[in-house]
Amino acid sequence: MKESTWSPNKKREFRRVFDKVAYTAGAIFVKKQHMLLEHTPTCFVYIDLYSGDGGHPGGWGSPVIAIETLAAVYEKFALPYHIHLYEKETVDAKRLKIILGKALEHVPKGCSINLYVRDNDDVVNLQILDGAMGLVYADPYGGCEWAKVLLALSVDKKYEKIDMLVDLNPSSIKRNQGKNQKCTTCLIGTSLDNCINNIDKEFCKVREPDVGERHSIWQWALVFLSNNRTLFDTEWKKHRWYNMKDSPIRLQKLAKTNKELAGCG
């Protein structure tokens, strides 16, 4: 696997968030179905915008973890799932396909796993079912292109119950700002605050930043966005997830350039 930001903390937190979102969706599905309630979820949609090559034993990548978890949730709650994996590099996509192997062939009836070997900006054309719950995951190598994509999806009514998780690199965003460069691919602007605040979700949690692999100077922070209040129990704080506005000072600092911190930004 290429040099990545797949630190043990990130892997653990991705699993934690994915479990929370998927099992909550399963429980809601069963409850609403039994009570014949309106707005019963139709399915769970998982979209991986940066799928990678599948990882390796002991360090499986996000698509493998997602497929395993959704298969378990299906067993327990019979919640149908649709998985959409984007990977633009042919070599990585080929390896991912081999790693997924049988999982791609043995999908339960009414479920699907789709691998797209192309740029993820195509995701805005994806057809998804009304009433879907789910998660969109963005795990880029850096930059802020993901913000434009997440913004576009978040204002689409079909994504109202689909949560968003991004592993972002505040340092790279800040570095662009510091150099006073215009980000050529992100329409929103280059401040972390802007990138996040423009995404149309009611609640936002930020995990304490992590330093990347191999003593990299880059810091990485997971950000979770959702409209579902019931997801937010006390567990989040225990695992060092904070609200953007009342997070410890270093998280607030992450969102700003030195110029802004000095009061002239």
Ligand X SMILES: C[S@@+](CC[C@H](N)C(=O)[O-])C[C@H]1O[C@@H](n2cnc3c(N)ncnc32)[C@H](O)[C@@H]1O
Q: Which residues bind ligand X (CB under 6 A)?
A: 4-6, 50-52, 55, 61-62, 86-89, 92, 119-120, 139-141
Shortest distance (Å) from residue 153 CB to ligand X: 14
Q: Would you tell me the crossing angle of helices 8-34 and 62-77 to the nearest 10 degrees?
A: 20
Shortest distance (Å) from residue 140 CB to ligand X: 6
Shortest distance (Å) from residue 62 CB to ligand X: 4
Q: State CA 23 to chain mean position distance.
A: 16
Q: Of the two residues 69 and 120, which places its CB atom closer to ligand X in the complex?
A: 120
Q: Which residues of 146-180 are buried (b: 16+ CB within 10 A; e: fewer)?
A: bbbbbbbbbeeeebbbbbbbbbbbbbbbbebbeee
d(CA 237, CA 244): 12
Q: End-to-end distance of the chain based on CA atoms, in angstroms?
A: 39
Shortest distance (Å) from residue 172 CB to ligand X: 13
CB within 8 Å of 211: residues ≥ 6 apart: 7, 217, 218, 219, 220
At position 142, the amino acid (one-letter code) is G
Q: Of the two residues 141 and 203, which places its CB atom closer to ligand X in the complex?
A: 141
Q: Of the two residues 51 and 257, which places its CB atom closer to ligand X in the complex?
A: 51
* DSSP 3-state of 131: coil
Q: What is the number of other CB atoms lying within 10 angstroms of the CB of residue 4?
A: 16
Q: Of the two residues 11 and 32, which places its CB atom closer to ligand X in the complex?
A: 11
Shortest distance (Å) from residue 145 CB to ligand X: 6
Q: Of the two residues 121 and 260, which places its CB atom closer to ligand X in the complex?
A: 121
Shortest distance (Å) from residue 14 CB to ligand X: 7
Shortest distance (Å) from residue 122 CB to ligand X: 8
The angle subtended at Cα 18 by Cα 200 and Cα 230, nearest 5°, is 60
The burial of 35, by beta-carbon neighbours within 10 Å (0-12 exposed, 13-18 middle, 19 or more buried), is given as exposed
Q: Of the two residues 13 and 29, which places its CB atom closer to ligand X in the complex?
A: 13
Q: Of the two residues 90 and 197, which places its CB atom closer to ligand X in the complex?
A: 90
